[in-house]
Amino acid sequence: MSKSLKTKEWTGITGGSTFGQKALLFLFHFHNVAVGYALLASVVPFYMLFSRKGYLSIYRYFRRRHGYGIIKSFFKTYQNHFVFGQCMLDRFAVYAGRRNFFKVEIIGNEHFLRLLDDDKGFVVASSHTGNFELSGYLLHQNKKRIYGMVFGDEAKELMTKRISVLGLNNVFTVPVTNDMSHIFTLNEALQNGDIVSMPCDRNFGSAKSIECDFLNGKADFPQGAFALAAMFNVPVIAIFVMKASLAKYRVYVCPLSVENYEHLKKQEKISRLAQAFAWELENMVKKYPEQWFNFYDFWK
C-alpha cells in the first residue's frame, strides 16, 4: 500500500480496551442496550474532542457532500458519532445474547433468495455505513456458506465472540492477511458456489482501486470484490443494514446491474460494477446521512 493511502486510511479497529469490551458484555447480560445508549450520549462529546481528525472528516462530509450549514453540520456530526456508538453497542448486546431484542425488516429480499437457489456463487458488497455486521448475527440461511472478509487485527475477545455468533448462522470469517492468502479462500468459495462478502468502500491490504463519481465528488473504491465477480462471472448484490430505530434495523438488498455486461472486457466490467456500487451507496447515504462511518477524508 502506498504511503499516501496509509496516511489517509482509518484503521477500522473497534475502540476500547479488552477490559472495557468485557465490561460491556457483562453489562448487557443484565441490562437492556438502552442503558448503554444513555451512557453513550455523555461520552460522545469527549470522544469527538480527543478524536479531532475523525470529527473534522465527518464535519467536512456534511458541509461539502450534503451542503449543510455550519451549525447543522456540527449537530449532524454529533448525531453521526452517537449513532455509530449505538451500532457498536448493538453488536455487544448480541454478543451478550440479546439478539431477540432487535427486529429486522428486509427490502428486496427476493433478490437474495433467487441467488440462493442458483448453483453459482455470488458476491455481497458491503460498506461502512449502518451496521452490516449485524446481518450476520440476526439473519439465518442454510443453503450456502457465507465467507465474510474481516479486518484481522481486532482484539482477541472481540474476534472470539464474532466468530462464535457468526458461526451459528453459517457465516465464516476470513481475516485479511499480509500474505494475501485470504484471496485463495474467497476464490475457492466462489468456485464451490458459495457466497463471498467483502467491504467495498475501503482498501484492505491492496492499493488497487477504481475512481468513481460519488456524492458530488471523486473517490477511490477498492476493486477486489468486483474483480472476483468478473473473474468467476458471478453476480454482485449490495447489502446495507441501516439502523431505523432503537430496536429495529432495515436491510436493503440491491442487485448491481450493468448494461451490456456480458459484452464488456474484464477491466471494464470491474469499473462499471464499482460505479454501480458507488451509486447504490450514494442513494443509501442520502437516505441515512448520519450513518456514514468512514472517519477519514474519503474524497479526493
Q: Is residue 127 one of the residues assigned to a domain?
A: yes
**CATH code of the domain containing 286:** 3.40.1130
Whole-angstrom Cα distance, residue 123 to residue 230?
10
Q: Is residue 26 one of the residues assigned to a domain?
A: yes
Q: Is residue 126 one of the residues assigned to a domain?
A: yes
Whole-angstrom Cα distance, residue 189 to residue 222?
20
Whole-angstrom Cα distance, residue 32 to residue 42?
18
Q: Is residue 108 one of the residues assigned to a domain?
A: yes
Q: Is residue 298 one of the residues assigned to a domain?
A: no
Find the domain containing 104 and state its range: 3-291
Q: Place 2 in a pLDDT band, splitting at 50, 70 and 90.
A: very low
Supply the Cα-derived Rg of the chain in whole angstroms: 19
Secondary structure (H, E, C), 47-81: HHHHCHHHHHHHHHHHHHHCCCCHHHHHHHHHHHH
Q: What total of structural domains would you count in the chain?
A: 1
Q: Is residue 120 one of the residues assigned to a domain?
A: yes
**pLDDT tens-place string over residues 235-274:** 999 999 999 999 999 999 999 999 999 999 999 999 999 9
Q: Is residue 300 one of the residues assigned to a domain?
A: no
Q: Is residue 297 one of the residues assigned to a domain?
A: no
pLDDT over 90 at 25, yes or no: no
